[in-house]
Amino acid sequence: MQKRQLGKSSLEVSAIGLGCMGMSFSYAPFPDRQESIALIRAAVERGVTFFDTAEVYGPYENEELVGEALEPFRGQVVIATKFGFKPASSGEPRWSELDSRPEHIRQVAEASLKRLRVEAIDLFYQHRVDPQVPIEDVAGTVKDLIGEGKVRHFGLSEASVQTIRRAHAVQPVAAVQSEYSLWTRNPEKDVLPALEELGIGFVPFSPLGKGFLTGKINENTAFDKSDFRNAIPRFTPEARKANQALVDLLGRVAGQKNATPAQIALAWLLAQKPWIVPIPGTRKLERLEENIASAMVTLTAEDLREIDSAAAQIEVQGARYPENLENLTGR
């Protein structure tokens, strides 16, 4: 597996990471825990060194799963996790209510260290920007945790350029994580140029469009009733039918390259910048191996021009989040 450095940080990771959220959150039904542990360990055996989780996935269950799976490989892998959601009365964090107060960040860090079974969190993201807490206070708290040896690197998720710059001035940001793929290109306008200027790595989540860009989903696909995609406007049957044109484009290029649509989608991301590291999620070994192999797919400058030219003619239909979550991005 090729390695990549996340910006100017000392974080060197595999060119393709593994997003672990779907093993216990959002995409029900979930696999058996031991199956997921086996898959994570299979990823390590195949050269993956970058794993993504968060306290809110589950909640807590995903961190515990990743911690158990990667305990034999401590020091050989990089684990990213996240803070920033407010606990409910049950004590479990929940989406849409934010809490990045310094004391809460510290509480999350201590709990995540235990669940992940590590002495330090490799990469600690603010999951969503909290407008009630100055980003300087957030960055300062993580800076203190780094000084104490509990965290190694600071990250932000779905943050605006202004927020990134303010945070970076207090504590260097190693990586920014946002949704980015051929059907979600928002970061290209201002985030990617700012990251290049500042020397910050970029970690695209949902690089396969929550599964849509693999070509395995069409307008007739039925999701489990608890699957998060049921609530996403971009996944209505009408939107899926309209967005099929993008999958068809990937399929045409894949045919030319003896690859799959998913591999072209990932290879396209890798070709954008050398400091971009996508983290596709999967729960199946064959998909893991397919995703890893995308790092070996070469897209020429002419290939990229053709893809961009064709994609520019396709207007993606539907918002990428329900309204109550859409307003948590880009702050």
Give 77-121 pLDDT, tens digit per residue: 999 999 999 866 666 666 668 999 999 999 999 999 999 999 999
Half-sphere exposure of 225 (CA within 13 A, CB side): 0
Q: Where are the alpha helices (DSSP H) in the chain?
A: 33-45, 61-70, 102-116, 135-147, 161-170, 191-198, 237-257, 261-272, 285-293, 301-311, 323-326
Nearest to 250 by CA among 265, 237, 230: 265
Residue 26: the pLDDT is 81
Q: Please answer whether residues 288 and 41 qualify as being in contact, where contact means their C-beta atoms are separated by less than 8 angstroms.
A: no
Contacts of 183 (CB under 8 A, 6+ apart): 209, 212, 213, 234, 243, 246, 316
What token pair was written down for 4? 């990549």
What token pair was written down for 163? 């927020």
Q: Please answer whether residues 28 and 35 qualify as being in contact, where contact means their C-beta atoms are separated by less than 8 angstroms.
A: no
CA 260/CA 214 separation, integer angstroms: 8
What are residue 24's phi and psi, to 5 degrees? -150, 15
Instruction: Determine what percent of the chain falls in helix, strand and coil, rounding each to the nearest 5.
Output: 45, 15, 40
What token pair was written down for 216? 């395995």
What token pair was written down for 220? 């007739």
**Helix (H, G, I), strand (E, B), or coil: what is residue 208?**
coil
Residue 97: the pLDDT is 86
Residue 11: the pLDDT is 96
One-letter amino acid identity for 124? F
What token pair was written down for 319? 């918002």
Give 188-198 pLDDT, tens digit per residue: 999 999 999 99
Q: Where are the domains of the chain?
A: 3-209+273-297
What token pair was written down for 223? 């999701």
Residue 90: the pLDDT is 60
Residue 325: the pLDDT is 80
CA 299/CA 65 separation, integer angstroms: 35
CA 86/CA 92 separation, integer angstroms: 8
One-letter amino acid identity for 320? R
Residue 324: the pLDDT is 77
**Residuewise pLDDT in 10s, the chain (331 residues):** 999 999 999 999 999 999 999 999 888 789 999 999 999 999 999 999 999 999 999 889 999 999 999 999 999 999 999 999 986 666 666 666 899 999 999 999 999 999 999 999 999 999 999 999 999 999 999 999 999 999 999 999 999 999 999 999 999 999 999 999 999 999 999 999 999 999 999 999 999 999 999 999 999 999 989 888 999 999 999 999 999 999 999 999 999 999 999 999 999 999 999 999 999 999 999 999 999 999 999 999 999 999 999 999 999 999 998 887 877 888 9
Contacts of 24 (CB under 8 A, 6+ apart): 30, 36, 57, 58, 61, 62, 65
Known catalytic residues are 57
CA 119/CA 32 separation, integer angstroms: 27
One-letter amino acid identity for 296? M
What kind of fold does domain 3-209+273-297 have according to CATH? TIM Barrel (3.20.20)
In sequence order, what DSSP letters do the residues of 11-44 get, joined into one string? -EEESS-EE-GGGTSSSSSPPPHHHHHHHHHHHH
**Helix (H, G, I), strand (E, B), or coil: what is residue 282?**
coil
Nearest to 274 by CA among 50, 6, 1: 6
